[in-house]
Structure 1
Amino acid sequence: MRHFLLLITLVLNTTLALAQSTKAGEWIELFNGKNLNDWKVKITGHPLGDNYNNTFRVEDGKMVVRYDQYDAFDEQYGHIFYKNPFSAYLLVMEYRFVGEQVKGGPGWAIRNSGAMLHGQAPETMGLQQDFPISMEMQLLGGDGQHERHTGNLCTPGTNVVLNGKLFTPHCIDSKSKTYPANQWVRAEALVLGDSLINHIVEGDTVLTYEKPQIGGGNVIHYDPAVKKDGQLLKSGYISLQSESHPVEFRRVSLFDLSPYMNKPKQLQAVLRELQNRKKK
């Protein structure tokens, strides 16, 4: 395993970003720019499939989160899940925060969203469950006053190994810059099963951890049968959040790396090719 991770590290160096397809058929446009047919919505207090108050929608070719039909937020945290689970991949998102937070949203959720990685199946979430058991690549926008890193890690119902030690606090900041509101930001998550996860912002690797596993707190009203503490997470669902601030995604794409996970040399070559594409 250490030899495998060394190969990956040598290829990644400090940056890895995808710009174009390298081989036909390996890119998956999770968001097709037209509709949400491949996605499932789960909002706290509402059954799976109830897109309460049209929270998630498509406008001008973008997947957006809107609150214009809300009177107040009332802790109705939402997630929109892609229909299929994945194990090894590079997820590419381009996002920005717009407008003002809806009335009743918590202070910490201003210009706050996220991509949930290796999440539980949406069908297994409780009606009142707030967040899926998953690792969150937290996406933040600047508030014009404070430093606010993006690409952070939060862990609803999970733990990870960070710098060789089990990390049990809820969140840790990345080393990214602060990006102001309304600016499009490119964020990527390189996920290699349960062996390695990198958070990448604008081409820079800003956080690295390994051995994602179920455990810890910071999730409520879950089914105890689903929360099997200590179980490594080798795969799961990807979802995007609605946490009370309007946000837009103009791209949500995925490059599937699972065919190469048992072929380290081929994986190394694919990652090198992707990195070279970025430099051209």
Structure 2
Amino acid sequence: MKRQFLLALLGFALLFSGVAISAEDASADDGAQSPVASLHGYVHEIPPQENHRALEGVSVKTWASLDQDPLQEVTSTDNGSFTVRYDASLRYITFTLEGYSVQSYCSELVRLGDSNVYEIVLKDETETEGVHELYDDYGVTALLARTNGTIFGTVTTMIENRVVPVEGALITIVSGQYNLTGTSNNAGHYHIDCPTGTTYDVTVTKGGLEDVTVSNVDPSLNMTTNVQMVQKSHIGVLGMDMAHTLALFGLLISVLVALFGIYMARKPEKENGIYVLNDLPETKSKKK
């Protein structure tokens, strides 16, 4: 009987300890959910024709009111990561890096008009350990792209099997609303600054040379666009080009001028209704 009593007492003790442990676990789980104390996110860039990649050095600022100074400013790390403090007063966030602009952003940010300011609208202001991951499924808070790039290269042609630079060539780049021009220098080099986010058709023209067009040049890729031009092919007489045609005409004119000179020097005279070319030397008559 005593033994049964001890076993029952031990069972109650084990049951009570299990209930206590469960209560502690539940309490711990409840404690893990706390008000958001910081926002963590990533900033990437989107080079055209490539997957987006981490962007280091982006200034991330937070604001309670745009009429006041920023609450905090941090800079994205080499993997594009940033962390900022959060409390109920924080309302706005900005992402700035010289030469870049924001192209897209996560669903918990709302852009204010056409500005570069974004309102923070969290879906849940409680989070595990107080850190809120400020990005969507693709893992990025904001995607930035270069605002300006450069199309550059060298213009050359072939003369007597030698590559020589073309100076003064007109380079025109066109894409939708953009139509920009530049010229090559004495070394044949050219560069034209232009907005990114689109591709351009590059056309090079120069008197005496055939026009050249290079399509779909992307200025954000920072790649050289070299152009080699060829001499224009002018079809003249008997299938000859202009240079040989002019040489032939020059030769014919020289021959005609020579013949006319001979004609004038030995002009025939009319005798008894007949033109006679008297090319014999004049002789003196003998006196009798």
Q: TM-score, normalised by structure 1?
A: 0.21
Based on CA coordinates, which of the two structures has the bigger radius of gyration?
2
| Larger helix share, 1 or 2 | 2
Higher RCO, 1 vs 2 (CA within 8 Å, ≥6 residues apart): 1
| Larger strand share, 1 or 2 | 2
Q: TM-score, normalised by structure 2?
A: 0.21
